[in-house]
Amino acid sequence: MDATTLLSPVQQRMAALMDRAIDTLEALLDDPALPAEQRANVALRLLDLAVAGEADVPRSAPAAVPMPPRCFTIPDFLSPDLRAAAVEKALRSKDRFVASAVTNAEAGYRRSRVLYEDSLQGLYEAMQQQIMAALPAVCTALLRPVFVPRRVEVHMTVHGDGDYFKLHHDAGAPEIERRAISFACYFMVRQPCGFSGGALRLYETLGSDPPRHDPARFHDVMPADNTIVFFESRLMHEVLPLCVPSGRFEDGRFTLNGWLQR
């Protein structure tokens, strides 16, 4: 729909008159017989009209652009030493994991436990280096320009029996709005895998404000040992509930997860 169809009849007449005025001024501006000083005044008048038009004429709202549930996975992401260090850190820190939180503080929206990056000394720096080395390939796969993150956040998260994270996106509050790319690197503390479920479900998302998702169009990423997945932080997504029959900490779904801030 053309923006002028949103105007009242009087507004449409005024818009037409403004168009005629601009045409007349443009003709004068191109007239070489007009003295330079007068042409300068005409140019200033044209700028005034242009600014007035920008302010006064309503525009159609831009269409929301759908973002497909695109992701990029890299198998065998962690070196053997780094993977062993992640497993050791998880086991040694069993009693230091704390309940995960969400920015909206809504009860029951997320259930898991987390170690924040100030508890990941050494592991955080090594993970950051791995992420930065992979970044050009990640950006290419996600069809976005390569950028230098202002910050890389890294947490360690464990989901146990019945744990989940409801539908959300990762840049939905002022304190996290700079997040551009999200990632989750899965690693199993015990082999074989002691859980089922826990898929990361990515939805096609309309890039509106706030983003909206299409519940019928999604892509599931199943947790696989030593595999990392990258995706746009504004994609709507969720972690589906887990089943851990043993109920043991060691049989949970472990990730080194985080965000690249633009």
Same domain, 109 and 37: no
- Sequence-separated contacts (24+) of 113-117 with Cβ below 8 Å: 113/157, 113/158, 113/160, 114/155, 114/156, 114/157, 114/158, 115/89, 115/155, 115/156, 115/157, 116/155, 117/153, 117/154, 117/155, 117/258
Domain that holds residue 121: 66-261
Q: Which pLDDT score, from 0 to 100, does residue 60 have?
A: 47
The predicted model scores a pTM of: 0.75
174-231 pLDDT, tens digit per residue, is 899 999 999 999 999 998 999 999 999 999 999 777 888 999 999 999 999 999 999 9
Q: Percentage of residues in the chain with pLDDT exceeding 90?
A: 67
- pLDDT for 104 equals 74
Q: Are residues 26 and 155 in the same domain?
A: no
Structure tokens at 216: 């019928």
Residues 151 and 186 in one domain: yes
Tell whether 239 and 205 lie within a shared domain.
yes
> Residue 94: pLDDT band by 50, 70, 90 thresholds?
very high
Looking at the structure, do residues 178 and 81 belong to the same domain, yes or no?
yes
pLDDT at position 25 over 90: no
pLDDT at residue 173, as a whole number: 87
